[in-house]
Structure 1
Amino acid sequence: MSVTVVGSVNEDVLIAVDRLPGRGETVVGRSSTRAPGGKGANQAAAAGLLGPGVHMVGRVGEDPAGDRQLAALAGSRVNVSRVHRTPGLPTGTATIPVEEASGENLIVVVPGANDALTPADADVEPVHRADVLLLQLEVPVETVLAAAGAAGGTVVLTPAPPRSLPRELLDRVDVLVPNEHELVQLAGAAPAERTPAELAGLARGLGVRAVVVTLGSRGALVVPSDGGPVLLQEPPAVGVVDTTGAGDCFTGALAQGLAGGQDLRGAVRYAVAAAALSTTGAGARGGLPGDDEVRAVLPRVPPAAEVA
């Protein structure tokens, strides 16, 4: 089985704060820490720690941050032979204030070398032969579209950061994995509190084969492609330290589940367990679990409930 990720590679700057700032407000941070990041690289690292055969396609700068990010990915059992050095551009960065009491965060990304990832970079053997291809939107959309077109396996897209997507791309996606806010934006709906059934209605209106909506501490909503019942899969209870990167861990684990032959329902159950465990450590990768840890907690995952 194999998983290939085409996407962003960043260096995160994590800032611990007592509370997140409001618009125009200054707060004083308690500490600042550098850590590996980028939605694409985070998903690849999560998948790599959970199983073999993970490849990353991306770009970093010719700088120390690039050195650190390549080493971090390799340390998570990710093949980085298709992560290219980019002269004249820095490795991407993300600044992330994290509220210490709740683990909630804000994220500001500077793309750097990620913006130089081209369609030609994505038309490569690891994309062609992957059982599952993971995509996000922190690299140019034309590159994402090219990767989806070159894929030979299941295409999974996280539509983040949210933007208008061409129909041509959505038609090539097998599983769309938005969070609740991204789903609402993609559907062109007004922000509001919605029930799981209402969210499922928005998801089916997108015309994508299958949609899995991540709901943070509430788990994930599974809207299958075959018109079958919508399921709400809650996660196991854990002691949350930091939610940064939990969605990326979810998607990396979902990909490994699908690549290993699980159906969508089983892969989501596996993914909510992995994502929950990832929140027990600091930073986007500080709590990423291995397969044994996830399987140990699976008996504590509640049964999925049908959504009326």
Structure 2
Amino acid sequence: MTEQNRTGQGRILVVGSVNVDLVLGVPRHPEPGETIAGTGSRRSPGGKGANQACAAARLGGDVRFAGRTGTGADADLALDLLRRAGADLTATTEVSDAETGLAVVTVDEAGENSIVIIAGANGSWTPQDIEELRAEVAASDLVVSQGEIPAAAVDQLSQLCAETGTRFLLNLAPVIDVAESTLAMADPLVVNESEGRLALTALTGSDAPDDDVATVRRLREAGVRSVVMTRGARGAILAADAEISEIGSPTVQAVDTTGAGDAFVGALALGLARGESAADACRRAARVGAFAVTRHGAQPSYPQQEDVLPG
């Protein structure tokens, strides 16, 4: 047991994507074939893996991030806020023949976004690369990954967690073709409404119900250890042990929803790694996600330890 574990802080390893976000402000999202005038643009760090690691680190977590970038200025920008948050980046590497991942994000006046992602170096992960993280996995209290790196890499990470007895949080966003054993290993599997239905169909081969609670229940029945379904302003649904509960979210005025789900996952990971109950960790995560939507951008919107959370 490490000194960090003995202090009850919890060590988190996040393995996932790192991008530069090109964010475009628009009055509304364009229709197919339509050209509209934007209201501004900015570039900032992003990527679901990096976002989740940054959210946990800014809240005071002991976080190591394993990611892949290209070389040059985009790599520096993509990792800038992670460095400032105090995340350990020694497991993050540069890929000389690939570009740093890119996300083009449009945000309308209501704060809703649409996103197109170019994987770049994020797509270069292999199972062999994951195997090299075995010692990092074994030393962690919680390992976190997402759907923005290849499925084979996520499957290998899940296998390492099984072999080392390390808890595995999988945010299946976007939904990729991971093995059934990977979904079964997730504790929790974190999905939004549409991702939850796709995951259930992948597991069972049958159509998912329209009802969110029924979808979560059937995911548990299909063998997933625990499930958290995020629902934006409506909070989340938690299925752990034999219980299903709804977690509320504070009411706030949203200006930009980009990265809010990642803020939730990062805060959830921190709570679980520190030994909080899943319900308590979800409640705080909902408050962190609500805080994030009141500010622009992904990582720049995440709270620090000293910030007052809504609700």
TM-score (norm 2): 0.89
SS at 1:184 equivalent: helix
SS at 1:174 equivalent: coil
Map Cα deviations across residues 50-79 of structure 1 (whole Å, 9 max, x no partner): 123100011000121001122221112111
Q: Distance in 1 between matches of 2:237 and 2:102?
A: 31
SS at 1:155 equivalent: strand
Displacement of 1:23? 3.0
Q: Distance in 1 between matches of 2:73 and 2:218?
A: 44
Q: Distance in 1 between matches of 2:34 and 2:245?
A: 40
Let me know the Cα RMSD of the aligned residues: 1.7
SS at 1:254 equivalent: helix
Displacement of 1:239? 2.1
Aligned equivalent of 2:263: 249
Aligned equivalent of 1:20: 29
SS at 1:257 equivalent: helix
Q: Is the 8 A contact 1:12 1:96 kept in 2?
A: yes
Map Cα deviations across residues 146-190 of structure 1 (whole Å, 9 max, x no partner): 222223421000111113331121232221000001011112265
Structure 2 residue 118 is the aligned partner of structure 1 residue 110: yes
Q: Distance in 2 between matches of 1:259 and 1:208?
A: 19
Aligned equivalent of 2:94: 85
One-letter amino acid of the structure 1 residue matched with residue 200 of structure 2: A
Displacement of 1:191? 7.9
Structure 2 residue 107 is the aligned partner of structure 1 residue 98: yes
Q: Distance in 2 between matches of 1:58 and 1:138?
A: 11
Q: Distance in 1 between matches of 2:221 and 2:31?
A: 34
Deviates more, 1:183-192 or 1:243-252: 183-192
Aligned equivalent of 2:6: none
Aligned equivalent of 1:142: 152
Which structure 2 residues correspond to residues 202-241 of structure 1 after superposition, within 5 A? 202-224=218-240, 226-228=241-243, 230-241=244-255
One-letter amino acid of the structure 2 residue matched with residue 68 of structure 1: L
Q: Is the 8 A contact 1:184 1:202 kept in 2?
A: no
Aligned equivalent of 1:305: none
Aligned equivalent of 2:178: 165
Aligned equivalent of 1:291: 305
Q: Is the 8 A contact 2:137 2:143 kept in 1?
A: yes
Q: List alignment gaps of at least 5 residues for structure 1.
A: 301-308
One-letter amino acid of the structure 2 residue matched with residue 111 of structure 1: A
Deviates more, 1:40-49 or 1:201-210: 201-210
Map Cα deviations across residues 189-213 of structure 1 (whole Å, 9 max, x no partner): 6588x44433333433442000000
Map Cα deviations across residues 227-282 of structure 1 (whole Å, 9 max, x no partner): 12x11111112221100001101000000001111011111011001111011111
2:54 paired residue among 15, 27, 45: 45
TM-score (norm 1): 0.90
Q: Distance in 2 between matches of 1:249 and 1:59?
A: 20
Aligned equivalent of 1:122: 130
Aligned equivalent of 2:189: 176
Q: List alignment gaps of at least 5 residues for structure 2.
A: 1-9
